[in-house]
Amino acid sequence: MKRVALIGMPNVGKSTLFNRLTGSHVKAGNWPGITVDLYSAKLLLGADIVELVDLPGVYDLRGHTEDQAVVSTFIARNRVDLMLVVINASQIERQLRLVSSLAPLGVPLVLILNMADEAAALGIRIECEKLSSRMGMPVCMVSAKRGHGLEQLRTLIRTSLQEPLQPPRADIDERALDAAAHACVFVPAQATHAQTEKLDRVLLHPWLGLPIFFGVMFLLFEAIFWVGKPIQDAMSWFFDTLRNVALVPLASGLPEMVRGLLFDGLYSGLATVASFVPLIILFFLCMALVEDTGYLSRAAFLMDALMSKFGMDGRSFVMILMGFGCNVPALMGTRVMRSRGLRLLTMLVIPLSLCSARLQVFLFFIAALFPTRTAPLVLFSLYLMSIAAAMLTSLVFKRRFSNNDALVLEMPPYRLPTLSQVILRGWHEVMHFLRRATRFIVAGVVLVWVLTHFPIGAAPASAQTWAGQLGAFLNPVLSPLGIDPQLTIALIFGFVAKEIVIGSLAVIYARDGGALLSALADHINWIQAYSFMLFTLIYTPCLSTIATIRTEAKNRAYTVFAVVWPLALAWVVSFVFYQTAISI
Amino acid sequence: MRTLDSLTTGERAIIRTLEVSEDLAYCLSAFGFRIGKTVQLIRRARFAGPLHIRIDTTDLMLRACDARCIEVQRQPA
């Protein structure tokens, strides 16, 4: 099977084009360097199937970032029959230079001028045929976002593979490329994005910029609650009813032990987690919208001065924000950083971001112990705590991991993503979350059930069970934080993945849905709940995060440190909060 | 000769020299920073934050400390 690679600078719409060509669900964000894994897909062209690979965005192949290493390694180790060089049609002159990095590889190239619609709106005129003959390679204009020019591109890829093209001259130099751009591309003197300029005047306002940014974020959280809460309540009701009306009578013939495992273990765990899925979906849709518009690089601009005080830069801020979705891709996103110190510091801080799995735990505790009116405020305070923990960590360690990297970051024009783009993106994230969550949750809740029901004869979830013994063993450490033995067990499982925490509580209290909420409210007060949430927020997010830190940092001592520090910090913060709150 | 960080908001200038590390030079070149190119300072972030710079149709941010390594000449009106 022939292999075709998509290559280009960050933020030229490569991933969007990839999605368009393959129909598969790959991440496509309006943020430089978002595609950190190599996605590939089979593409049917006429009667042939070819493999299309989406490479990370790189400015050239001569630098020393991890992304450049990924691309160079891929090209060196894998046969590539054709490379599609994707270029932003509004920035041909500067981006064409990538070709001089690629020409020595000896692979035939096709030049794709993407965002043709934006270029046309700016009044940029491109003579494609002339450019093609000067460059010695086919040139194709497309708009991946709008789906224009794709049929033509498919035909071009097919014919280029059937009658193999000549690779470009290896010695094609930058001067020749500049001359080609000058001769074939006509840019009006005042080619600016008028709408973006207007928006920037407000969103990047020296004094209002930051308050607006945090205001937008706060409103999004409010909206998620406002829309999501009724749906979540309906889901809880549905699962309760399904269990009581249909499933319990159906399983009446089974032995009690099996029924216990099925209902108090699996069903309670899964149903409780499933009722939170609508909120998670809304969260991801909102994040996808913010990311695809280009607002995140403005956040980097606004926050850079502050971040530099903490030894990081605007990119670190954006990665931390990405971490609010899931820490794992955010950790991988640090590959664009050249400075090792900056990268390690950012990777130490990212796991403190309140990710969606923790969000689910907090939504549950907040629903159980706080009135709906104060709920968004409590959640917002946790987000602020998450940021405060990150700031503290970086202040303490900024000298240890010093940063000497320059910050050069594109500020793309604001783009309104199409509805399908946002939904596709949100869907991709949700599926990723669910795949991970279900695997962990099923194994986790079964394990919790076993630990809380054995040895045989012990009353479920009592002090005599294995879980009870484990909780009692750790109790001296956690009771000063107001965390009781039951919650201790939940925390232990939370070390594996936060997705298990609520499921395990459902098993420990042998209740689900609304009944679990009231059981929790009977057992603990709001101070204990907040202390528990603080601990959950700061200590190790999950095993996947640790594994990612290990593979990205390639250093065992650093990985151990990245586990121990948050654990110690979590204990101290919860201790201070709990002891202060109960003494007032 | 003036450096890029000394431009006033809205001012345009022509790049004369780039005295930066090799790595940064590749990176800047990919963003269009080349000798003879016209750059414009769009705005500065508060608290000595980064500069918002425009080269042709590309907008980007750059810290003042890095902009100090780029010498520019005022563009004749």
The pLDDT value given to residue A388: 92
Does A194 touch chain B if contact means CB atoms closer than 8 Å? no
DSSP-derived pairing of the beta strands B2-3 and B70-74: antiparallel
Query: Of the candidates B31, B49, B57, which has its C-beta nearest A408's C-beta?
Result: B31
Query: Of the candidates B54, B55, B63, which has its C-beta nearest A406's C-beta?
Result: B63
> In residues, how long is chain A?
584
Query: Of the candidates A122, A204, A407, which has its C-beta nearest B43's C-beta?
Result: A204
The pLDDT value given to residue A109: 95
The pLDDT value given to residue A30: 43
Our CA angle for A245, A228, A365, nearest 5°, is 80
Q: How do residues A331-390 score in pLDDT, each as one tens digit?
A: 877 877 878 899 999 999 999 999 878 988 998 899 899 998 899 899 989 999 998 999
As a whole number of angstroms, the distance between CA A408 and CA A338 comes to: 11
The CATH classification number of B2-74 equals 2.30.30.90
Q: Do A408 and B58 touch (CB under 8 A)?
A: no
Mean pLDDT for chain B overall: 91
Q: Is the pLDDT of residue B69 over 90?
A: yes
Q: What is the 3-state secondary structure (H, E, C) of A496-539?
A: HCCHHHHHHHHHHCCCCHHHHHHHHHHHCCHHHHHHHHHHHHHC
- Residue A112 in contact with residue A126, Cβ under 8 Å? no
Does A408 touch chain B if contact means CB atoms closer than 8 Å? yes
Q: Is the pLDDT of residue A329 over 80?
A: no
- What phi-psi label fits residue A240: left (phi over 0), alpha (psi between -120 and 50 degrees) or beta? alpha
Domain boundaries, given as residue ranges, for chain A = 3-186, 211-583
Average pLDDT over residues A444-459: 79
The pLDDT value given to residue A107: 92
Q: Do B31 and A94 touch (CB under 8 A)?
A: yes
The pLDDT value given to residue A528: 95
Handedness of CA A556, A557, A562, A566 (dihedral sign): positive
Q: Which residues pair with B52 in a beta bridge?
A: B43, B61
Q: How confident is the model at residue A272 (pLDDT cuts 50, 70, 90)?
A: low
Residue type (1 letter), A1: M
Torsion of CA A267, A272, A277, A278, to 10 degrees: 120
Task: Quickly count: other Cβ atoms within 10 Å of residue B72's Cβ.
Answer: 24
Domain boundaries, given as residue ranges, for chain B = 2-74
The pLDDT value given to residue A28: 42
First to last CA, chain B: 18
3-state helix, strand, coil in chain A (%, to 5): 65, 10, 25
DSSP-derived pairing of the beta strands B51-55 and B58-62: antiparallel
Domain A3-186 part of CATH 3.30.70.100: no
Q: Do A60 and B63 touch (CB under 8 A)?
A: no
As a whole number of angstroms, the distance between CA A279 and CA A225 comes to: 7
The pLDDT value given to residue B77: 63
Q: Do A408 and B66 touch (CB under 8 A)?
A: yes
Average pLDDT over residues B1-7: 92
Average pLDDT over residues A230-248: 85
Average pLDDT over residues A70-90: 89
Q: How confident is the model at residue B11 (pLDDT cuts 50, 70, 90)?
A: very high
As a whole number of angstroms, the distance between CA B41 and CA B12 comes to: 7
Q: Which of residues 19-78 of A touch B (CB under 8 A)?
A: 59-60, 62-64
Average pLDDT over residues A509-537: 89
CA distances from A179 to A123, A131, A174, B12 (A): 20, 10, 9, 24
Q: Is the pLDDT of residue A263 over 60?
A: yes
Average pLDDT over residues B68-73: 94
Does A122 touch chain B if contact means CB atoms closer than 8 Å? yes
> Phi/psi of residue A380, each to 5°?
-60, -35
The chain A residue lying nearest B66, using CA atoms, is A406
Mutate to test the interface with A, among B59, B66, B68, B70 (most CBs of A within 10 A): B59
Average pLDDT over residues A500-525: 83
Q: How do residues A172-213 score in pLDDT, each as one tens digit?
A: 888 889 999 999 999 988 777 889 999 999 999 999 999 999
Q: What is the 3-state secondary structure (H, E, C) of A38-50?
A: CEEEEEEECCEEE
> Phi/psi of residue A397, each to 5°?
-110, 5
DSSP-derived pairing of the beta strands A109-114 and A82-88: parallel
Residue B59 class from Cβ within 10 Å (0-12 exposed, 13-18 middle, 19+ buried)?
A: buried
Q: Is the pLDDT of residue A484 over 80?
A: yes
Q: How do residues A485-499 score in pLDDT, each as one tens digit?
A: 888 888 887 877 787
Does A412 touch chain B if contact means CB atoms closer than 8 Å? yes
Q: Is the pLDDT of residue A27 over 70?
A: no
The pLDDT value given to residue B40: 95
Torsion of CA A501, A374, A299, A123, to 10 degrees: 110
The pLDDT value given to residue A437: 61
Q: Is the pLDDT of residue A287 over 80?
A: no
Does A206 touch chain B if contact means CB atoms closer than 8 Å? yes
Q: How do residues A398-431 score in pLDDT, each as one tens digit?
A: 999 888 778 888 999 998 888 877 787 777 767 7
Average pLDDT over residues A439-463: 76
Does B32 touch chain A if contact means CB atoms closer than 8 Å? yes
Tracing tokens 């030049």 back to the chain, one arrives at A111
Q: Is the pLDDT of residue B4 over 90?
A: yes
The pLDDT value given to residue A36: 47
Tracing tokens 């409210």 back to the chain, one arrives at A521
Average pLDDT over residues A63-76: 80
Average pLDDT over residues A439-461: 76
The pLDDT value given to residue A26: 54
Q: pLDDT > 90: what percent of chain A?
A: 36
The pLDDT value given to residue A88: 95
CA distances from A318 to A31, A141, A408, A409, A488 (A): 9, 31, 14, 12, 33
Query: Of the candidates B27, B46, B52, which has its C-beta nearest A408's C-beta?
Result: B27
Residue ranges of the alpha helices (H) in A185-311? 194-203, 209-241, 248-250, 256-259, 268-274, 277-293, 295-309
Tracing tokens 């320059």 back to the chain, one arrives at A406
Does B68 touch chain A if contact means CB atoms closer than 8 Å? no
Q: How do residues A29-41 score in pLDDT, each as one tens digit?
A: 444 444 445 777 8
Average pLDDT over residues A148-154: 94
| 3 state SS of B23 | helix
DSSP state at residue A465: S
> Phi/psi of residue A151, each to 5°?
-60, -45
